[in-house]
Amino acid sequence: MTTLLHDDEQLLRARVVLASKIERVSGALSSRVVEAFLNVPRHPFVPVFYRLEQDGVHRPCRADAGWLREVYADRVLVTEVDGVHAEDAGPEGVRGVATSSSTLPSLMADMLDALDVRPGDRVLEIGTGTGYNAALLCHLAGAAHVTTVDRAEYLVATARTRLGEAGFEAVAVRVDGADGYPDGAPYDRVIATCGVRRLPPAWLDQCVPGGLVVAPVGGAVARLTKLPDGRAVGRFLHRPAAFMPLRGEGTAGWEVAEARAGSRATELDSYVLDDPGFAFWADLHLGPTVVRDGRALRDFADGSTARAHGRTVVLGGPRDLWRTVEAAHRAWLDQNRPRREWLTVEAGPEGQFVGCTAPDGSTVRWSL
């Protein structure tokens, strides 16, 4: 086993180093969250992960000289590429797109802190992944109160085994995460480790009034409180968040057909979409039918497309999507670059909305 190559003192020291890094990055965390990272090891859940080499190939990293340092670094560890799990990859590696990973620990800590798990809370996790986050939830709530679900049988089975070996007998079930897990409902806390454009209604329905839902929505992490009337309201965390999408919500398979499109000059350089603060704001203005992949846009309602290159934008379809980005940028500057944590989020039977109140008291609201 991988752990035989490192003694207990090394492993403990590695957890202390990671917990210290998390505290520095995340700021004022609950002492219970920091304690969870000190007590729950990461390495049993990511015994093998991919390194992306300079030649563009993802190669599996096992217990070599840098393995322990990387496992306990504050970094994302890719564990699956185009459906190939790191444990199954040969030394030649795999080319493709990451399809599963162990989340950035400091972002995990911020989300767990926002979730405010108390001992005995019934917790539902959407997106089992490696099982590491579920183990942290078990430490915080008690393993008997944690349910984790994923659509991938391999991930659920592997995580169930590793959780058991770590002493956490949580419920791990293979289901479609969009449906939650009604058999274990209701829950005091619901957390998602996969990105969605809108919160699936099941997550809200299965949360008790007064309970909390923490989930990545449109490139930011939303924290909502369930109200007695069935709605949930809250705000976004301050950090950007890039998560693997909930299965079925990916954007793969489309390209801007530049050969059949026109182009124009723009005073707004394409680099503005590299700013996660503005990118989140722009996505709200673009609306729920528009998908953005970096600097490329596509409206799945009317087929309009745009791809920005420097100060040139290549356009396709019936409308100019880049005009919306330009208008959003002007509004963003006029309102002093609103931060995501200033915005409100609301979800209920009547719809899901993000709101922003300007200094003059006026309010703008967008549909998710």
Written as one letter, the residue type at 214 is V
> Which pLDDT score is estimated for 258?
45
Q: How many domains does the chain have?
A: 1
d(CA 213, CA 188): 9
Give domain status of residue 144, yes or no: no
% of the chain residues with pLDDT over 70: 94
Question: pLDDT-derived band of residue 62, with 50, 70 and 90 as boundaries?
Answer: confident
Kindly tell me if the per-residue pLDDT of 324 is higher than 50. yes
- Which ranges constitute the DSSP H helices of 99-166? 105-115, 132-141, 153-165
Give domain status of residue 330, yes or no: yes
Judge whether 46 and 130 are in contact, CB under 8 Å. yes
d(CA 134, CA 123): 10
For 178-198, the pLDDT digits (tens) are 999 999 999 999 999 999 989
> Which pLDDT score is estimated for 359?
80
Segment 298-306 mean pLDDT? 92
Least confident segment among 43-52, 246-255, 271-280, 305-314: 246-255
Q: Helix (H, G, I), strand (E, B), or coil: what is residue 85?
A: strand
Give domain status of residue 311, yes or no: yes
Give domain status of residue 274, yes or no: yes
* Residues linked to residue 296 through DSSP beta bridges, in sequence order: 293, 307
Segment 322-331 mean pLDDT? 96
> Which pLDDT score is estimated for 256?
45
For 11-22, the pLDDT digits (tens) are 999 999 999 999
Question: pLDDT-derived band of residue 65, with 50, 70 and 90 as boundaries?
Answer: low
Who has greater pLDDT, 2 or 51? Answer: 51
Give domain status of residue 321, yes or no: yes
Judge whether 78 and 58 are in contact, CB under 8 Å. yes
For 126-169, the pLDDT digits (tens) are 999 999 999 999 999 999 999 999 999 999 999 999 999 999 99
Beta strands 146-150; 171-174: pairing state: parallel
Least confident segment among 109-118, 301-310, 345-354, 356-365: 356-365
For residue 48, with 0-12 CB atoms within 10 Å meaning exposed, 13-18 middle and 19 or more buried, which class applies? middle
> What b/e sequence results for 115-152 when a residue is b if at least 16 CB atoms lie within 10 Å of its CB, and e otherwise?
bbbeeebbbbbbbbbbbbbbbbbbbbbbbebbbbbbbb
Who has greater pLDDT, 60 or 4? Answer: 60
State how far the alpha carbon of 90 is from the alpha carbons of 50, 61, 122, 141, 156, in Å. Answer: 11, 10, 40, 38, 23
Indicate the DSSP class of residue 186.
-
> Which pLDDT score is estimated for 252?
45
For 244-253, the pLDDT digits (tens) are 787 655 444 4
pTM, two decimals, is 0.91
What the block records as the tokens of 188 is: 């005091």
Mean pLDDT of the chain: 91
For 191-241, the pLDDT digits (tens) are 999 999 899 999 999 999 999 999 999 889 999 999 999 999 999 999 888
For 18-49, the pLDDT digits (tens) are 999 999 988 789 999 999 999 999 999 999 99
> Which pLDDT score is estimated for 240?
85
> Which pLDDT score is estimated for 358?
81
> Which pLDDT score is estimated for 4?
44
> Which pLDDT score is estimated for 200?
96
Give domain status of residue 220, yes or no: no
Kindly tell me if the per-residue pLDDT of 103 is higher than 50. yes
Active site members: 100
Give domain status of residue 85, yes or no: no
CB within 8 A of 18, min separation 6: which ones?
37, 42, 72, 73, 74, 105
For 209, the enclosing helix (H) or strand (E) is strand 207-217
> Which pLDDT score is estimated for 99?
87
> Which pLDDT score is estimated for 366?
94
Give domain status of residue 46, yes or no: no
Residue 276, domain extent: 258-334
Question: pLDDT-derived band of residue 76, with 50, 70 and 90 as boundaries?
Answer: very high
d(CA 111, CA 30): 11
